Structure 1
Amino acid sequence: MKVMRFLYQLVILIGCFVQSFSTLAQQDIFLKGTVYEFESNEPLPGANVYWESAPQQGVVTDIDGNFSIKAIGLPSKLVISFVGFTETIRQINEKDIAKDVKFFLRPEELSLEEVIIQERRPDQNVQSLDMGKSVVPIQTIKNIPALFGEVDLLRSLQLLPGVQTAGEGTTGLFVRGGSADQNLVQLDGAPIYNPSHFFGFFSVFNPDALEGVEFYKGAIPATLGGRLSSVIDVSLKEGNYQKIKGEGGIGTISSRLTVDGPLFSDKSSFVISGRRTYADVFLRLSPDENLNSNSLYFYDLSGKFTFKIGDRDKLSFSSYYGSDFLGLSAQFGFGWDNWVSSATWNRNINDNTFFDLNVYHSRYKYMLNFVDEDNGFDWDNVLSETGARAEWSFLPNEKTQINWGFHSQLYHFAPINLEPAPGSAIEPILTNPRNGWQNNVFFSATTDITSRLRAEAGLRWGVYNRVGRGVQYIYEDPFPNPESNISDTLSFSGLENMKFYQGLEPRVSFRYLMQENLSIKAAYNRTFQYIQVATNNSAGLPLDRWVPADAFIPPIRADQVSIGVFKNLNRDTWEISLEGYYKDFQNLVDLRQGASVILTDNVETELLTGNGYAYGIEFLARKNIGKTTGWLSYTYSRTWRRIEGISDDRWYNPRFDRPHDLTLVVNHEFDKRWSAGLTFIYTTGQAVTFPIGSYEIDNQRLPLYGSQRNADRFPDYHRMDASVTWKNADKGRKWRGSWNFSIYNLYGRKNPFAYQFTDIINEQINFDPGMGEEISSRRPGVVMTYLFTFLPALTYNFQF
């Protein structure tokens, strides 16, 4: 209660502080408006708005196309510009101040073939404070060659500097030395705990349903938190307020459809989007009984409904549901699903004060069943997060912005339940639930100190409680291990406090403008993470065990310092950046050798805690304008950990340590109908532990591993993908279609996915002793598994 009273007093104090600014700014008059694209009536984020007499004091439209600009000397001419659209100039009089003015920009016909429309200012990378942040347009994602022709958001982010992957085909991200669970992936403010389909080959995001994505890996603002490495903020698009529209595609393994339009009037809209694979349909057509009785599919469905209430308020409700299932005959079934829902209220309190409220619920569930007379079982588990986030934004003048608010989160990790089938020899397993309650308050301010120096300072304070219902085991050893005896068990009722943690997270960043097209930036971030995954794999699996901080598992902490140089060339056609970072980790968790954490109720006995650090240099050269666009990136990075009890207490590399990472992305438009894309990836092989010998037990040879963890490496990974797109001639018809042909792994590189150390019998990898063949030779060998060589795909996309 004392903590909540303090939080309440702090919010009131901040509100009084900001109100004092509001009183000083009441004499300012602001013009409000919205910028739309003429043909589709959709809002244009990132459009430039400025007075003709004061071009240096402009603003940029937000994600909804809205802007608010301080009025000067009315009547005056207002200029609206956007890359690839005809500039608009309108005379603004005093009568326009009282209403929300609308501007409609037409595509610029003469230059439309030579530009790529961007959701930001062309010089934003130089002028803004953003560091380690990427805003990836959805159209750019759609132009990148894709596995099976499935355009994928998370796999596209892997092409950015500082982002690495676990291996072939997976969507798991490892950002600046952090593990996959250290990334916060959220959809309209709601976190997604397993953002992948098909065991990590595809992400849960249907690109047709998305408005945009903001990716933070460096200067994470104080308004966001909860993870150490990155924030991937994905937003569903709003429906069109004027007419029904749709788009979709029919691909090699899946089809998708998105429909949007007005709901009840031009003040409300809807978007409905669905996607499904049909691998299970092809399996049923097979004459092989071992195949046609199997199931393998995923599907997802999302929707968003938006209502404009007056001139100052907007409500939106969004929901996503996705499901995966793998079934082998009638004996084995494995599936998982995500269901996230959120509601958002946006309000313009006055011309320079804005309020956003977001409430959400996210649930992740997996199940596994095995039908067998002797060893059958059913196994399921659920985890969820429910939260509310409120944020106020205040703009006392065109140079300053102040944000403050709170974020409350309730975590629930349900008991793991394994029920044996009748007559099964397997023992039932039921663990205890684990719950956590986290409350955060944040405050940040951004201002221009001088005409060249801009700064942002913020503070986030997190208060975390491990709460009941649950139990806490008391061990005879102060640091429990698998052999430790339990001396006592404490039981806690619902929401009763079991363990308390708190942490201050300062954030600060600077931008110094050396020239109009050259800037230097620096940032410092501290972040805490109170929940994490206990796993010994690097790719991320549906069965990964999430654990909250408790008496034996402290929260992990990261401090990151970064500095960078940003330069634009040839009238913002090219942008070049060089960023360096150093990150220090505290209280990292790793597993003991041979640990098993999936079904145990004493997971703390299998974990070890230590520290780590990571550093790197990231180079990016991007071409934004012209028939040929794309980027070249190179990253040199290292990450190290030292945890007592692992690798002889020496520093070691986690599996995702890959020093060299090179990426090339090229898109070229030959004309209005033909375009092509190409990507090339080269990375150092992932760190692994190879056996140092072998030994025999019961006439079976087993690998012998040394004490050093991840001292070996896979061969270097490289791959090239290519695609060609042909569009039907646009003759004003309502239906517009295009064909996309892509090849994944163009030159058929056999990149290793796994190695198996086993005996090669009779020079056969898969020798079957049941065939009655006499064993004539036996030798130790290594079997490499790879997933894909060249893999073609064909997709038909359409719009109406």
Structure 2
Amino acid sequence: MKQAFCLFLLLIGVSVSYAQQKFTLSGTVRSERTGETVINASVRSVNSTDGVSSNEYGFYSITLPAGDYEIEYSAVGYNSFIEKISLNQNITRNISLPDEVKDLENVVVSASGKGRTITGTQMGVERLTMKEVNTIPMLLGERDILKAIQLLPGIKQAGDGNSGFYVRGGSADQNLILLDEAQVYNASHLLGFFSTFNSDAVKDITVYKGGMPAQYGGRLSSVLDVKMNEGNNQNYELSGGVGLISAKLNLEGPIQKNKSSFLLSGRRTYADVFVPLAKDSAIRGNKLYFYDYNAKFNYKIGEKDNIYVSGYFGRDYLKLDQQFGINWGNITGTLRWNHIFNSKLFSNTSFIYSDFDYNININNPSNDLDIYSKIRDLNLKQEFQWYAGSRHSLRFGFNSTYHKIRPGDVTSSGTTSFNNFYLQDRYSWENALFATDTWKAAPWLNITYGARLTSFSILGEGDFYEVDGDGNVTDTLTYTKGQLVKNYVNLEPRLAASFILNPSSSFKASYVRNVQNLHLMSNSTTGFPTDKWLASTNIIKPEIADLVALGWYKNLAGNQLEFSTEIYYKKMQNQIDYRTGADVFTNDAIESQILFGIGRAYGWEVFLKKKTGKTTGWISYTLAKTERKIDGINDGEWYNARQDRTHDIAIVVNHQLNRRWNLAANWIYYTGDAVTYPSGKYIIDNQVVFYYTKRNADRMPSYHRLDLGATWLLKDRKKFRSELAFSLFNAYGRENPYAITFRQSEEDATKTEAVKTSLFRFVPSISYNFKFK
């Protein structure tokens, strides 16, 4: 009996031990048609609330108690797949999802499967699919990522013809823009009319408006993370398009089927081709065009290793009648190695190169001037993702970036005497350690906590200055090459939580601190190519922002509708603005031309999105306030920041009329920008000089616009697809102001006239797109 009793206890112990055992299901989710990895695919147990999402490289890992499960794999644009799994050991399961197939007699457009994540802790994040971007009517028919994200709540447009954008009170330079992890310093073509991103080469777009994860850093306001397509490793595909001002071509296919692939994509405007045909000789001497190229190669070394190589090269040229010329461009390159150590540990190692430069030529009869500026980064990033168990998922690593900035060289050639001058090159080394843990604390509570520790080292060689309160240089300090000038160390904590109220709604809260050590000096809102990047110095301190946000999220009508509302408050330190009459482009002691202070921004955002059915779209609304307080400006009182806008509304509608016709429209309204108008004038030597008092105390007129679009599917066969895309930008011809200037009236010298400049009225476009598959 005693032996039988002991055996009974042993069996119970073994049973309990087995019941408590947990095993891991892991693998990679790919597209069945192209073989590309699927980002943010959902992997979940059908009969429980347990679930995970695949990472940027399609890898997933979910840990569950031993037992039998029905596992569902799903993703935007793909048919879901369910399989039964007996989990009694660690299992590797690589999944290929078939593309979503729609009934041609009853077209149903679905923007996502399960809707916005209710349980996740991430706040202020927005995602757009390329399908959504491609249906939005755009200026001259160019499918533009940056224009598309500006229709989302909390992201404000800089105006007609501008690719710059503002996020939750931040200026345009406070947005981190990444292309395959490489930083893009100027994301605009044609002086801001179009963005650098060719939509045919883009796979995924994610915008973090506030509480960005700890692996991102270096900017105060937002992160725009753009991932390029990897290339089809199953079949060759050729696609392209021809529009009113540009043409593009995209080629992708396998190098070795199921193992390696490539992507080559190019785009160029061709308006300059027709300029020589103009009758006016002045016009024949002008040029304005851009081109860009994207390339990506990837190779699967084995079951656990993948190599990715991607690059971008883009250039713009502007030439005005042999007298003025400017060219500018970006070069980026990324080499990445993915390694799966085991079912719970994933690694990504990246070597990244970024380069932006511009060159200005001014040609005079007696003297030619060349102005050159450049910023270059070399970056090493190591990141690990550890799926520690069913309740913890950790992400940690480091980032090391070496910056070299050439603020500006001015050289001359000609008969007129001119002293060449060179603004000093600046060197800095930026390092960061980061770690984040996502913890499922309870069935109704998820918490993400972590931190980013940054070190920004300012290095010689060169002169650095001491400046008094009036902007006068009081001392010059000289450093040798590589000598440490100053080091700034900052801790950037991250904390977020989601409280699950029921299966369709949750409440979220977050706090994040961000630090920025690179600053853009600009008088424009467009991200003009001649804007000047500066690194922190012994006087220019890192900008710091603390953001608190609260939000409520709700899925409605059986997940057909998404609703969210968020409020936020942002406190900013070490904000930079110009002294009155500042010269920041030819002055080596830049610290003498700028002032420092604090800022604040707060607002309320509302978002309602319809995701399924023949008619889809969204409505976004933002109520916001953004202010600065800097000694020496506006008598030291709070004043409106340039990007301050009270109201911002966007309505986007897409309707699948039938199999061949898709209709789209968007309407935009926002309060006019804060500007400074003259409050008086006086005359000196018969010249009128305007007098200004309070900064940004006036307003531009409100902006509103309706855009219409239609896509006509011409052919859709097994091997070929073609379509015509029509759009009408500013359909009711609103003359929105691009700029307002002031001049003395020619008829009455005692009066001053305001002159409004508008860019676009009734801009129609047509483009032809095709795809051989």
1:730 to 716, 719, 727: 716
- Equivalent position of 1:247 in the other structure: 239
State how 1:268-283 maps to structure 2 within 5 Å.
Answer: 268-283=260-275
- Equivalent position of 2:685 in the other structure: 698
- Equivalent position of 1:757 in the other structure: 742
State how 1:679-718 maps to structure 2 within 5 Å.
Answer: 679-706=666-693, 708-718=694-704
The Cα shift of 1:248 comes to 1.6
Alpha-carbon separation, structure 2, partners of 1:417 and 1:37: 49
- 1:90 corresponds to 2:83: yes
Alpha-carbon separation, structure 2, partners of 1:46 and 1:225: 21
1:562 to 535, 549, 571: 549
Question: Does the aligned pair in 1 maintain the 2:252–2:261 contact within 8 Å?
Answer: yes
2:554 alignment partner AA: K
State how 1:40-119 maps to structure 2 within 5 Å.
Answer: 40-52=34-46, 54-70=47-63, 73=66, 77-82=70-75, 85-92=78-85, 100-105=93-98, 107-110=100-103, 114-118=107-111
Deviates more, 1:449-458 or 1:432-441: 432-441
Residues 94 and 630 of structure 1: is their aligned pair in 2 closer, same or farther, counting only changes over 3 Å?
closer
Deviations 1:619-652, CA, capped at 9 Å, x for gaps = 0111111111111011000011110001111110
Question: Does the aligned pair in 2 maintain the 1:47–1:121 contact within 8 Å?
Answer: no
- Equivalent position of 2:330 in the other structure: 338
1:751 alignment partner AA: N
Structure 1 residues without counterparts, runs of 5 or longer: 1-25, 764-776
The Cα shift of 1:51 comes to 4.2
The Cα shift of 1:287 comes to 2.1
State how 1:485-634 maps to structure 2 within 5 Å.
Answer: 485-487=473-475, 489-634=476-621
1:794 alignment partner AA: I
- Equivalent position of 2:6 in the other structure: none
- 1:237 corresponds to 2:209: no
Identity of matched residues, %:
38
Question: Does the aligned pair in 2 maintain the 1:226–1:528 contact within 8 Å?
Answer: yes
Question: Does the aligned pair in 2 maintain the 1:256–1:273 contact within 8 Å?
Answer: yes
The Cα shift of 1:98 comes to 6.1
The Cα shift of 1:729 comes to 3.6
- Equivalent position of 2:16 in the other structure: none
1:372 to 359, 364, 375: 364
Residues 315 and 131 of structure 1: is their aligned pair in 2 closer, same or farther, counting only changes over 3 Å?
same
2:354 alignment partner AA: S
Deviations 1:186-218, CA, capped at 9 Å, x for gaps = 111110111111111111000110011110012
2:25 alignment partner AA: L
Say what the alpha-carbon RMSD is for the aligned residues. Answer: 2.3
- 1:30 corresponds to 2:17: no
Deviations 1:739-759, CA, capped at 9 Å, x for gaps = 011011010000111122112
Deviations 1:598-639, CA, capped at 9 Å, x for gaps = 121011000100001010000011111111111101100001
- Equivalent position of 2:461 in the other structure: 469
Residues 95 and 102 of structure 1: is their aligned pair in 2 closer, same or farther, counting only changes over 3 Å?
farther
The Cα shift of 1:699 comes to 2.3
Question: Does the aligned pair in 2 maintain the 1:543–1:598 contact within 8 Å?
Answer: no
Alpha-carbon separation, structure 2, partners of 1:224 and 1:641: 25
1:657 to 644, 653, 656: 644
Residues 640 and 87 of structure 1: is their aligned pair in 2 closer, same or farther, counting only changes over 3 Å?
closer
Question: Does the aligned pair in 2 maintain the 1:84–1:116 contact within 8 Å?
Answer: no
Question: Does the aligned pair in 2 maintain the 1:142–1:151 contact within 8 Å?
Answer: yes
The Cα shift of 1:558 comes to 0.4
Deviations 1:447-479, CA, capped at 9 Å, x for gaps = 11110000000111111111112211345x3x4
- 1:743 corresponds to 2:715: no
Question: Does the aligned pair in 1 maintain the 2:736–2:758 contact within 8 Å?
Answer: yes
Question: Does the aligned pair in 2 maintain the 1:48–1:58 contact within 8 Å?
Answer: yes
- 1:224 corresponds to 2:237: no
- Equivalent position of 2:162 in the other structure: 170
Alpha-carbon separation, structure 2, partners of 1:631 and 1:39: 30
The Cα shift of 1:57 comes to 2.1
The Cα shift of 1:412 comes to 0.8
Deviations 1:634-680, CA, capped at 9 Å, x for gaps = 10000111100011111101111011111101111011210111011
The Cα shift of 1:702 comes to 2.8
Question: Does the aligned pair in 1 maintain the 2:116–2:562 contact within 8 Å?
Answer: no
Alpha-carbon separation, structure 2, partners of 1:523 and 1:613: 17
Alpha-carbon separation, structure 2, partners of 1:398 and 1:289: 72
The Cα shift of 1:533 comes to 1.2
Deviations 1:504-556, CA, capped at 9 Å, x for gaps = 11110000000111100000011111111122333321111111111111111
- 1:136 corresponds to 2:128: yes
Deviations 1:35-63, CA, capped at 9 Å, x for gaps = 444444444444433445x4422333344
- 1:127 corresponds to 2:114: no
Alpha-carbon separation, structure 1, partners of 2:670 and 2:311: 37
- 1:298 corresponds to 2:290: yes
Question: Does the aligned pair in 2 maintain the 1:115–1:624 contact within 8 Å?
Answer: no
Question: Does the aligned pair in 1 maintain the 2:352–2:379 contact within 8 Å?
Answer: yes
1:749 alignment partner AA: R
State how 1:135-154 maps to structure 2 within 5 Å.
Answer: 135-154=127-146
- Equivalent position of 1:8 in the other structure: none
Question: Does the aligned pair in 1 maintain the 2:203–2:229 contact within 8 Å?
Answer: yes
Alpha-carbon separation, structure 2, partners of 1:338 and 1:611: 32
Deviates more, 1:64-73 or 1:458-467: 64-73
TM-score, normalisation: structure 2: 0.94
Residues 513 and 71 of structure 1: is their aligned pair in 2 closer, same or farther, counting only changes over 3 Å?
closer
Alpha-carbon separation, structure 1, partners of 2:109 and 2:304: 32
SS of equivalent to 1:263:
strand
- Equivalent position of 2:635 in the other structure: 648
- Equivalent position of 1:453 in the other structure: 445
Deviates more, 1:243-252 or 1:109-118: 109-118
Alpha-carbon separation, structure 1, partners of 2:455 and 2:530: 28
Number of aligned residue pairs = 755
Question: Does the aligned pair in 2 maintain the 1:260–1:271 contact within 8 Å?
Answer: yes
1:396 alignment partner AA: A
SS of equivalent to 2:753:
strand
Alpha-carbon separation, structure 1, partners of 2:639 and 2:750: 35
The Cα shift of 1:782 comes to 1.6
Deviates more, 1:214-223 or 1:579-588: 214-223
2:705 alignment partner AA: R
1:784 alignment partner AA: K
1:719 alignment partner AA: R
SS of equivalent to 1:178:
coil
Alpha-carbon separation, structure 2, partners of 1:104 and 1:783: 58
Question: Does the aligned pair in 1 maintain the 2:715–2:723 contact within 8 Å?
Answer: no
Residues 723 and 374 of structure 1: is their aligned pair in 2 closer, same or farther, counting only changes over 3 Å?
same
Question: Does the aligned pair in 2 maintain the 1:188–1:235 contact within 8 Å?
Answer: yes
Alpha-carbon separation, structure 2, partners of 1:648 and 1:373: 46
Question: Does the aligned pair in 2 maintain the 1:536–1:591 contact within 8 Å?
Answer: no
Alpha-carbon separation, structure 2, partners of 1:86 and 1:432: 57
Deviates more, 1:431-440 or 1:415-424: 415-424
Alpha-carbon separation, structure 1, partners of 2:737 and 2:209: 29
Residues 741 and 496 of structure 1: is their aligned pair in 2 closer, same or farther, counting only changes over 3 Å?
same
Deviates more, 1:780-789 or 1:744-753: 780-789
SS of equivalent to 2:273:
helix
Structure 2 residues without counterparts, runs of 5 or longer: 1-19
- Equivalent position of 1:404 in the other structure: 396
Residues 485 and 48 of structure 1: is their aligned pair in 2 closer, same or farther, counting only changes over 3 Å?
closer
2:319 alignment partner AA: G
SS of equivalent to 1:396:
coil
- Equivalent position of 1:772 in the other structure: none
Question: Does the aligned pair in 2 maintain the 1:392–1:403 contact within 8 Å?
Answer: yes
